[in-house]
Structure formats: C-alpha cells, structure tokens
Amino acid sequence: MSDKVGTVHWNDFPDIGDVQPLTTDDEACLAEIREVLRRRGALSRFGVTLMHRHFDMAEDEMLVEYPDTTGRRLVTVVEKAVNHNAATSTPTAWSLEGLRAAVRCVCARDDSSHLGYHREG
C-alpha cells in the first residue's frame, strides 16, 4: 500500500456541502464493513469516515494532522508534500479507491516504531 497522497484524487471527493449524510440505506453497507473488520480482528483499529473536501489542494500538497494534547484539539493543515517527512508520521485515513493515504498524523517516532506520544505542531 502506498503512502503517497493522491491530491488529484482528493480533489475528486465531493464538497462537504454536496455530501449526502448517513442514511438508513447506508446501514447494510456499514454492517458488511463491520463484519469484515470483526472477522479480521480489526474493529478497534479501523473505522469509516465520510470522504469529502472543504477546498482543493495542489498536486504537491498533503493534509497533515498535529495533535494539541494540552488544548485537546487535533489540527489538520495543508503542507507541501516535499517538506513532509514520512518517517515521522503515521497515515491515519485512506481512500479505498487506490488505497492511498489521505491524511497523516505527525507522531514522535524512531526508525522502527511509534514512541508512544505525539509531537505537537
């Protein structure tokens, strides 16, 4: 699975104002997804998000999350992908169309693992 963000793909997501909210028609689909995650032992690891955008992004940009643990906020910012160090971040959201990372969280990491806390932005 690639960690490369497909920003053209991101721009293909509908604007938040055009996204249909969750309906009862979606319940069967979500139940199937839940069953697959349950069978794979991944219910507490993965979830579902409503894919949408609030603005367009350039080809060389990506979304990056910065936790503010003191203020209890999560701030998502647009950054130049070339300036972003993938070794110190963890992909946190993927589009299942192409399995590309859509958002990354900047974490405190060494070369092999998460160090158990987050770097604040």
Instruction: Summarize pLDDT for 47-97 with one digit per residue, the tens.
Output: 888 888 888 888 888 888 888 777 888 888 888 877 666 666 777 777 777
Domain that holds residue 97: 7-20+51-106
In a domain, 61, yes or no: yes
First to last CA, the chain: 27
Tokens of 80: 């130049």
pLDDT at 27: 92
Please give the tally of structural domains in the chain. Answer: 1
Q: Which of 9-23, 27-41, 47-61, 107-121 has the lowest mean pLDDT?
A: 107-121
In a domain, 94, yes or no: yes
- Residue pair 55/86 in contact by the 8 Å Cβ criterion: no
In a domain, 29, yes or no: no
Nearest CA-CA partner of 5 in 80, 62, 84, 51: 62
Q: DSSP letters of 32-91?
A: HHHHHHHHTT-TTT-------BSS---TTEEEEEEEETTTTEEEEEEEEGGG--GGGEEE
pLDDT at 101: 65
